[in-house]
Structure 1
């Protein structure tokens, strides 16, 4: 993408797909400002729905409005409890999104969120915490995990 202020500058583009853990503290804008301040030419876009799960993004929006081919990178943020309580769904949709991204020559990333108190309570009753589960799913799908 050309920078309209300086036509010689090319920008990479990131699409962030997720929920309030992606948008609540203006994470896309914060990242974009950090890139800009560091001299990195990356623009950040988002497709977010509060409280959403990846299966909702896939089912209701993927085909008509998530044009992966227009981006260089994409991040996926699953609902905070799904890696622990709905592992099969979490793994399925990370795989589907990742395969779709790779087929469009887009680098996929899984974005893991912090373990807030309720999530820590769930984690304490399992063998793995959220980040360990997401890391395993990422490894299996050859996707980079980012925190």
Structure 2
């Protein structure tokens, strides 16, 4: 009887443990300030804490970096070494925000090199299709088309963040996605970016959201990285569900 009970309890414990396990997706962002502004990597992790799939992010960034600098290891960047020496499921590449408009050939050349390199490491290449600057919304089509063309040629997946931004601006211009410089994201903009990546990677979005997101420093102290209203959250959710498939 005791032996049977022990086996049952062991089976029950293993079953409960397995049920409570979550899938994890390890993601590396190769980019610039459009990644590290407002702690995008940490926000993605925090938002997916409530989901069946947890996204764990790492980043290789420096302000204003382009893919050529990443590829050639300039400005202290070690993106290729990080890809080669780590195990990622997805590597996201993002060029300088102006390169799809001003230096498209460079985007295509180094983007193709990175996509091939990422695939050779066993990861999947994703492209971070960024947004038009606040004063030049008409350039969004150029940016989106450049990344979509690269994705088609390189066998990569596009995350259409810029299209999410364009729709958000069209639906409600009072929802301010921009930092005061008219280029970088506000906290709300970063939240929209995070949801775009989460939807593209997992195929879904969380059912519940916090309005305050805190993170822990190395000493275990919490600090706030974002605070949103329910209206802002639901607005972003609706936009992403419409754009990201």
In 2, distance between residues paired with 1:9 and 1:89? 39
Partner of 1:132: 145
Distance 1:91 1:118, change over 3 A: farther
Q: CA deviation at 1:48?
A: 0.8
Kindly report which structure 2 residues correspond to 1:62-141, keeping only aligned pairs within 5 A, or say none.
62-67=79-84, 69-117=86-134, 119-120=136-137, 123=139, 128-141=141-154
- The alignment of Structure 1 onto Structure 2 pairs a total of residues equal to 138
Larger RCO (CA within 8 A; separation ≥ 6): 1
Kindly report which structure 2 residues correspond to 1:13-32, keeping only aligned pairs within 5 A, or say none.
13-32=26-45
Partner of 2:173: none
Structure 1: gaps spanning 5 or more residues: 1-5
TM-score, normalised on structure 1? 0.83
Q: CA deviation at 1:40?
A: 1.2
**In the alignment, is the contact (CA less than 8 A) between 1:138 and 1:145 conserved in 2?**
yes
Structure 2: gaps spanning 5 or more residues: 1-16, 162-245
Root mean square deviation, CA, Å: 2.3
Match of 1:44 among 57, 80, 84: 57
- Residue-by-residue CA offset, 1:27-83 (whole Å, 9 max, x unaligned): 111111122122313211111111110111111124434336511111011101101
Which is richer in helix?
Answer: 2
SS state of the match for residue 84, structure 1?
helix
- Residue-by-residue CA offset, 1:96-141 (whole Å, 9 max, x unaligned): 11001111110110001111135546x38xxx52111111111111
In 1, distance between residues paired with 2:26 and 2:64? 24
